[in-house]
Structure 1
Amino acid sequence: MSIQIHTPASLPSNDNVPDNDYAFSIELAGTPWFTSKGAMIAYYGTVQFEPLSRTSLTGLVASQFSSPLYANDWVIAQGHGKLILGDRGFNINSYDLDDANLTIRASNLLAFEPGLALKQSIVPGFVTLLGTGKFLASSNGQVMFAEPPLRIDPQALVGWADCPSPSHHFDAGWMHNFLSAAAGFFGMASGEERQFDFTGAGTVLIQSSEKVIDDAHLLRHIESETQPLSQASLQQLHRSIGARLTQDGY
């Protein structure tokens, strides 16, 4: 078995590491990148990582990053060298947007060029990229591109481009049981019971697995939405979560 030893010269410029779908090499040559915290696994050269709250590029952040909920999850990488990114052993792919928009699961987005602007999506756990440039996204398995109309398992969804946000579709049998038993929202789990329904023109990105790693971004979004709740509503939410934990054996 031969082992390839990499050097700065052998690593590609803005492409996957050769024969490795799980690592991506970015060439930094003076132009900064937004990168997800924890995505860096190695680098060559002189590279600096600045938190968005303490970066010297405050104008860039103000114009291109509009998601305060996720601001602490990102840094700006700048300098000169080769930056290698990875994500939990997931597949990593690069995509190019040309004056377009794409909404993607926040936990799958690894990096993007400053020609793209990041906005906070109204869909919990997702963000939207607008503009022209390259971005990197991870997936649990290879990504399939599909055209609406279609319904997919929510956990298999990576994102969607140039089409309306999805709506929920619930299985008729599950709805019958829900109405009969007055079940709670926490009772639904799988894509067989609940799907995302896409209509209109555009492209949907689907990973070839329905497994999603525990998503801190979604939790943060849910926590932010509890601010307007009254004390009685918070107590009801507490009871619902307690019932779910009991049901799951915790």
Structure 2
Amino acid sequence: MILLNTRPVERAHSLTQIFIHDDIEVIELPLLELTALPYSADLAQLYRQLSDTQVIVVVSPTAVDVGMQYLQASQIEMSSLANVQWIAVGQATAQRLKDYGISASIPEVETSEGMLQLPILQNLALRQVAFWRGLGGRQFMMESLQQQGIHILNFVLYQRRCPQTAIEQFQQLSSRLQTTIEPVYVCISSEASWLNWMKLCENNPEILSKCQYLTLGERLTQLLQHQQITGVQQLESLNPQSIRNFLLKQKGTA
């Protein structure tokens, strides 16, 4: 059994390490690379509105680091945000916020849908929510809140792209992935990573169709199914132990 660990470099290690004593080969193939966008006048204007914001949604550890860096650049004291409630998309993001002394709510399912179910966002008096995010991310969640009449402060702090190293590594792997008789599982944690995977496979459709996909959350699972992708298994969490338990179960029943 082969697992393609497609998490960004800074988040891949814990998933790789948990399989170290198992008969499962883990190949790190990051499909997303996160790079900060420059601090700008538009961001400075958004930061000045944060004190009137009730909730800040933070979607990744990178968003925490860049967001805090630019908060300091805006000369805004954390004390002015004392009444703000924070939402982290998952455990890793919550831990990074904790490093800055911030306690955050975390959804049971680490997706936009999971966050929308949090009681904080069910508050009928909610007026304004800020998003610390990457370019192109969390559109569904922001649109859902806007439809409820909530004003969105849209902090685009970084961009996501497919690393050049992944393109080169996939070219080296492609012949093996085409010919192996072992089951190949691919971790797909976002729509952006899925689009990058499809781009890598555009000249190797047989690889796209033969792999099994571990998808995070219902909406991402449905996206693949609507594209006639078979072999899709839905994850409720990116917790490495949960993924390990799932794959060991599959290996035992293969």
Which band: TM-score by shorter chain?
under 0.3
What is the TM-score of this pair, normalised by structure 1? 0.27
Tell me which structure has the larger Cα radius of gyration: 1
Higher strand share: 1
What is the TM-score of this pair, normalised by structure 2? 0.27
Give the structure, 1 or 2, with the largest relative contact order (CA under 8 Å, sep 6 or more).
Answer: 2
